[in-house]
Chains A and B, each alone.
Chain A
Amino acid sequence: MSSNAVAPTESLDLPITGMTCAACANRVERALKDAPGVRSAGVNLATNRATIEFDKKSTNAQALIAAVKDAGYGTLAVPNGSSTEDYERDARLSEYRALLRKFRVAVALSLPVLFAAMSHGRIALLDAPWVPWAELVLTTPVIFYCGGQFYRSAWAAFRHRAADMNTLIALGTGAAYIYSVAATIAPGLFAGVTAQPGMGAMTGGRPMVPVYFEAASAIIALILLGRVLEARAKGQTGDAIRRLLGLQAKTARVVRDGVESDVPLEAVVAGDIVIVKPGEKIPVDGVIVEGSSAVDESMLTGESIPAAKKAGDTVFGATMNATGSFRFKATNVGKDSALQQIVRLVQDAQGTKAPIARLADVISGIFTPIVLCIAIATFVVWFVLGNPETRFTLAFVNAIAVLVIACPCALGLATPTAVMVGTGKGAESGVLIKGGEALETAHKLQVIVLDKTGTITRGKPELTDLIPENGISADELLRIVASAERGSEHPLASAIVRAAEAKGLTLTDATSFNAIAGHGIEATIEERAFLLGNERLMTARGIQIASSEAAAAALAESGKTPMFVALDGKFAGIVAAADTIKPESREAVATLQQMGIEVVMLTGDNRRTAEAVAREAGITRVLAEVLPADKAREIKRLQDEGRIVGMVGDGINDAPALAQADVGIAIGTGTDVAIDASDITLLRGDLRGVIAALDLSKATIRTVKQNLFWAFIYNALGIPLAAGVLFPFTGWLLSPIFASAAMSLSSVSVVTNSLRLRRFKPRVSATAVHV
C-alpha cells in the first residue's frame, strides 16, 4: 500500500446558497471548473452542494469559495478536512433523532392495532367488520413513513443484486402488509384461509379472513427501537477517536510577513512560523526555532510528566504547552500530523482482518440470500404438510417469522465494534494496536524478547570509566574518542560526546568516518588512524589488548560496556559507558513472568554486560552479542521451537526482528512513530505498556468471542425455531412480533457487550516489586 504515489488531490464538498434553477447550478459549476487547480467540479441543485476535486498544491478552499462568490453565489460554511468528524457526528445525531421520531410514531400507531388484534373477541366492539379497515389506516403510515427507509434501502441493495438486513425486514413486513391489505379489500380472494388463534383477527363465531397489520407495524416499531439503541451505542464505540480529535486547537497564531495573526487550524501550512504562549495548545507538528518550554504530551504518550523542549526539538499538535513560550516552524499539518496518523491507524485497525472472524465474514456475505431460501422452504413445507384448513396461515406466518428473526447485523457487528472499542481504549493509554491480527496474536504470546538498549534500559548511557594506556592522558583519550564519535548516532557515542563537552574539551572534526555495524567505528582524526570498538574488532585488526583484558572483564561484569581504542594501530585505552535500567522494567518483567510468559533479552552488547543488566531486570535467558542483522534470525530460532514470539524494540535497528516476530511491539517516545514494522506501538517508553497491550488484547478477543458465539447461537437457534421445527414435538411456534423483538435485541446486545470494554483499565501493578 502506498498513498504517496498519487498526486495530492483534495476533495471538497461545499454547500452553495442562492441557486434557484439548473442554469444557476451550471454557472457555479463552470466558475469552479475554470478556477485554477480544479480537476473536476460537480454541482447538485437538489442538495445545493458542489463537489470539487482540486490540486492541493495550486489552490485551496478559500480560493474556491472566492470563485463561487465571483459568480454571484454564496457558500455556507468553510468545510475542511478536520471537520469531517464534526460532520459525521452531526449526521449521526440527526439520524438518531429521525429514528427516534419514527420509532415514537410507530409505537403510537401500532399499539391500538396490536390491542385490536390481540383482543380475540373479548371486546365485542372490536369484532366489527370495520376493524381491519381501521387497522389498515393506522398501519399504512407506519409502513410508508416509519419503515420507508427499510424499503428504499432494500430496493437499492436488490438492484445491486445484493441483500442485507433491510431486505429481510422489507420482505417480512411488506408481505404481511400487502397480504393484509388485499385480504381487507377483497376478502373473497382468500376464502379458504381461516384464522389461527393469536395470529390475526377473529370474530365471535363468524370467521373472517385473518389480517396481519399488527405484525407488520409492531415489527417495524421494534426494529426501529433496535436501531435507536444501536445508533446510540455505536456512536459511543468511536468515542476514543473523537476525544483524540477534540484535543486539537481550533486556531494558530502564525507570523507571516512579520505580522502575527490568528488563523484557523486548517490554514496553517508547512513552513509557517507559529507562536505558542504558556498554557496554550500547540496547533500543529513542528520544530522549535526559538524559546523553550515544558510540554505536556500525555495525550500522545500517556506520560504525565511534561517533556522539556528547546530549540531543535520536535513538538506535536494537540499537546499542551505548560510554562514557557516559543516559536516553532510547522512541519506536519492536517492529515500528516502525528495525531491524525494515530487516528487513521486506530480507524484502519477496525478494518483489518481478525482471523477469528473469518468464518463470520464468510457467513455474513451469504447470510441474507440463504435466509430468503430458508423462508421460502419454510412456506413450502408448512403448506404441503399442514392441515388444509390452516396451511396458508401457518406457512405464511412462519415464513415471515424466519425473515424477521434472522439477524446478520449481530454477526457483522461482533468483531468490528469490539476491535474499535479495544483499539480506541489502547490509543487513550498510549498503546496503538495496528489491527485485528495483532490483537488476536498478542494474548497468545509465549515468549517475549526484549531489546536491551532503550527498551529495558533508558537507552541514554553515561560515560563511566576512562582507562588510558600507552602514555596518553585521560582527557586526551576522551577528546579524541569524542571527536570521532561526533559523527555517530549510536547512543554510546552521545554519552561520550556529552562527557567531553561537560569537561570543556575542544573537539576536532574526524575525516573518513566509517561505522562498522555491530563492531565499532573507524575514522581519521588529526591524520591519525583511529579505531574504536569491541574485542572482536581489535582482534580482527590484530591489535594487542591482552594487558587490559582483565580490566575490561571487570567493567563488563558490572554491567558497563567497555570499548577499546586504538590509535595508528596501537592500543590506546578503554572507555566504558553504562546504561541504567528504567525503574519500571523490573516490575514489568516480573509481571510478564507471572503471566506465564518467558522473557528473553536480546542485545548486540557483550555477554557480561548483558548478563549484568539481565540480572538487574530479573531476566534469566539472554541472547547477547547478536549483530543487528542476526536479531531476526534469533527470533526465527525461537519460533522454530514452536513458540509464539513477541519482540519489543525501539523500532529502528530492530525493524527486521519486529517484522519477524509474531507480534512486533515498537517502543516509541511519541517522537518517532515507527509504525510500519511493528504491530503494536507503545507511545510511552515504558515496558508496562507491553502488559497493558497484552491485557487489552485478551479482553478484546474475549469480547469478540462472546459476541461471535452469541450471534452464531442466536441465528442457529432462532431461525429453526421461527421456522417451526419444534412444532411437531412441542407445539411451539414463534410469533413474528416476538421474532422481531429478539432480532432487535440481539444486535443491541452485541454492541453493548463491546462497550463494556470501555471500562478496561491497564493494571497498575501485579507485583509489589519496585526498584
Chain B
Amino acid sequence: MDSTGIAVVAGGAALIALTLWYFFGPKKRTLAALTGPGIQTVKITVKGGYSPDVIEVKQGVPLRLDFYRDETNSCSEEVVFADFGISRSLPAFKTTSIELTPDKAGEFTFTCGMRMLRGKLIVEPA
C-alpha cells in the first residue's frame, strides 16, 4: 500500500467514526414548559427533523405538542406516536397540536410516517 492508500484508509476510518458519532451520539434534551393549570406544552419545529427532538416531560400531566411544519418536503408530512396510537398529518406551514397524557414513565420514540425522522419523548416519573 502506498502512502496515498494509507491516507485514504485513515481518512475513511475517521470519516466513518465521525458519521457514527454525529448521527448516533448523545443529543441534548429539552424540558417541556408548564403552561396553564396542569398543562405542559412544547413547540416543535419540523424541518428535516424535529427541533427539539429529545423532549423531557412529566408523567401524568396532560401534554400538548405543537408541531409547526416549516417545509413541504414530503418526508415529514406525518408524525406518529406509535406507543400512544396517534398519527397525524402535518400540513405544511401550519401548526398542528397533538394532545396526550403521558401515563407511563419511560422513553417513547416519535417518528415520521416512514420512521426516518425521529424524536424521543422522555417521560420522567412523577
Do the two chains bind?
yes
Question: A153 to B82, alpha carbons, bound, how many Å?
Answer: 24
Question: A276 to B68, alpha carbons, bound, how many Å?
Answer: 39
Residue of A nearest to B5 (CB): A384
Checking B19, B66, B71 against A373 with a beta-carbon cut-off of 8 angstroms, the contacting residue is B19
- Contact status B87-A11, CB under 8 Å: no
A601 to chain B: closest CB distance in Å? Answer: 31
- Contact status A149-B95, CB under 8 Å: no
Q: Which residues of B have CB within 8 Å of A486?
A: none
- Contact status A88-B5, CB under 8 Å: no
A358 to chain B: closest CB distance in Å? Answer: 10
- Contact status B27-A379, CB under 8 Å: no
Interface string of A1-32 (1 = CB under 8 A from B): 11101110101010000000000000000000
> Assuming A7-B36, A377-B12, A377-B16, is B5 touching A163 (CB within 8 A)?
no
> Assuming A5-B101, A47-B93, A161-B27, is B82 touching A351 (CB within 8 A)?
yes
Checking A87, A166, A231, A349 against B73 with a beta-carbon cut-off of 8 angstroms, the contacting residue is A166
- Tell me if B86 counts as interface (CB < 8 A to partner A): yes
Interface positions, chain B 12-38, Cβ under 8 Å from A, are 12-13, 15-16, 19-20, 22-25, 27, 36
Question: A379 to B51, alpha carbons, bound, how many Å?
Answer: 33
Question: A234 to B89, alpha carbons, bound, how many Å?
Answer: 13
- Contact status B19-A160, CB under 8 Å: no
Q: Which residues of B have CB within 8 Å of A84?
A: 91
- Tell me if B59 counts as interface (CB < 8 A to partner A): no
Interface positions, chain A 152-207, Cβ under 8 Å from B, are 152-166
- Contact status B62-A6, CB under 8 Å: yes
Select the residue from A1, A158, A411 with max chain B CB neighbours within 10 A: A1
Task: Give the total of B residues in contact with A, Cβ under 8 Å.
Answer: 63
Checking A160, A163, A166, A367 against B51 with a beta-carbon cut-off of 8 angstroms, the contacting residue is A160
- Contact status A384-B48, CB under 8 Å: no
- Tell me if A548 counts as interface (CB < 8 A to partner B): no
- Contact status B85-A164, CB under 8 Å: no
> Assuming A11-B97, A84-B91, A155-B48, is B12 touching A149 (CB within 8 A)?
no
Residue of A nearest to B12 (CB): A380
Q: Which residues of B have CB within 8 Å of A408?
A: 114, 116
Q: Which residues of B have CB within 8 Å of A5?
A: 62, 99, 101
- Contact status B82-A3, CB under 8 Å: no
Residue of A nearest to B82 (CB): A353
Question: A449 to B85, alpha carbons, bound, how many Å?
Answer: 26
- Contact status B48-A162, CB under 8 Å: yes
- Contact status B113-A159, CB under 8 Å: no
Question: A294 to B121, alpha carbons, bound, how many Å?
Answer: 49
- Contact status A412-B116, CB under 8 Å: yes
The SS class assigned to the A binding surface is: helix
Q: Which residues of A have CB within 8 Å of B1?
A: 384
Task: Give the total of A residues in contact with B, Cβ under 8 Å.
Answer: 69
Q: Which residues of B have CB within 8 Å of A49?
A: 93
Interface positions, chain B 53-75, Cβ under 8 Å from A, are 53, 62, 64, 66, 68, 71-75
Residue of A nearest to B48 (CB): A156
A629 to chain B: closest CB distance in Å? Answer: 25
- Contact status A2-B101, CB under 8 Å: yes
> Assuming A164-B75, A352-B82, is B91 touching A91 (CB within 8 A)?
yes
- Tell me if A645 counts as interface (CB < 8 A to partner B): no
- Contact status B92-A161, CB under 8 Å: no
- Contact status A350-B87, CB under 8 Å: yes
Residue of A nearest to B61 (CB): A5
- Tell me if B105 counts as interface (CB < 8 A to partner A): no
Question: A127 to B66, alpha carbons, bound, how many Å?
Answer: 58
- Contact status B87-A2, CB under 8 Å: no
Question: A182 to B3, alpha carbons, bound, how many Å?
Answer: 24
- Contact status A162-B72, CB under 8 Å: no
Checking B12, B53, B93, B100 against A160 with a beta-carbon cut-off of 8 angstroms, the contacting residue is B53
Question: A195 to B70, alpha carbons, bound, how many Å?
Answer: 43
B8 to chain A: closest CB distance in Å? Answer: 5
Residue of A nearest to B68 (CB): A51
Checking B13, B85, B114 against A409 with a beta-carbon cut-off of 8 angstroms, the contacting residue is B114
Checking A9, A47, A366, A369 against B64 with a beta-carbon cut-off of 8 angstroms, the contacting residue is A9
Checking B5, B74, B99, B113 against A95 with a beta-carbon cut-off of 8 angstroms, the contacting residue is B74
B30 to chain A: closest CB distance in Å? Answer: 13
Question: A3 to B103, alpha carbons, bound, how many Å?
Answer: 12
Question: A170 to B80, alpha carbons, bound, how many Å?
Answer: 26
- Contact status A373-B16, CB under 8 Å: yes
- Contact status A6-B39, CB under 8 Å: yes
- Contact status A160-B48, CB under 8 Å: yes
- Contact status B85-A1, CB under 8 Å: yes
- Contact status B22-A161, CB under 8 Å: yes
- Tell me if A598 counts as interface (CB < 8 A to partner B): no
Question: A346 to B52, alpha carbons, bound, how many Å?
Answer: 28
- Tell me if A435 counts as interface (CB < 8 A to partner B): yes
- Tell me if A320 counts as interface (CB < 8 A to partner B): no
Interface string of A332-369 (1 = CB under 8 A from B): 00000000000000011111110000001100111111
Q: Which residues of A have CB within 8 Å of B71?
A: 153, 156
Select the residue from A2, A352, A368 with max chain B CB neighbours within 10 A: A352
Question: A435 to B2, alpha carbons, bound, how many Å?
Answer: 58
- Contact status B15-A157, CB under 8 Å: no
- Contact status B5-A383, CB under 8 Å: yes
Q: Which residues of A have CB within 8 Å of B116?
A: 162, 164-165, 364-365, 367-368, 408, 412
Question: A411 to B89, alpha carbons, bound, how many Å?
Answer: 20
Question: A368 to B75, alpha carbons, bound, how many Å?
Answer: 14
B48 to chain A: closest CB distance in Å? Answer: 3
Q: Which residues of B have CB within 8 Å of A360?
A: 115
- Contact status B48-A153, CB under 8 Å: yes
Q: Which residues of A have CB within 8 Å of B83?
A: 353
- Tell me if A372 counts as interface (CB < 8 A to partner B): yes
Question: A435 to B78, alpha carbons, bound, how many Å?
Answer: 16
- Contact status A379-B12, CB under 8 Å: yes
- Contact status A160-B49, CB under 8 Å: yes
Checking B19, B87, B96, B118 against A351 with a beta-carbon cut-off of 8 angstroms, the contacting residue is B87
> Assuming A157-B117, A365-B118, A369-B19, is B101 touching A1 (CB within 8 A)?
yes
Residue of B nearest to A349 (CB): B87
- Contact status B24-A380, CB under 8 Å: no
- Contact status A95-B20, CB under 8 Å: no
Having A157-B117, A376-B12, one finds 11 other A-B pairs with CB under 8 Å, namely A1-B103, A2-B62, A6-B39, A49-B93, A160-B117, A234-B74, A351-B113, A352-B82, A364-B114, A373-B19, A384-B9
5 A-B residue contacts at CB 8 Å?
A153-B71, A164-B48, A351-B80, A365-B116, A380-B13
Which residues in A have some Cβ–Cβ distance to B below 8 Å?
Answer: 1-3, 5-7, 9, 11, 13, 47, 49, 51, 53, 84, 87-88, 91, 95, 149, 152-166, 227, 231, 234, 347-353, 360-361, 364-369, 372-373, 376-377, 379-380, 383-384, 388, 408-409, 411-413, 416, 434-435
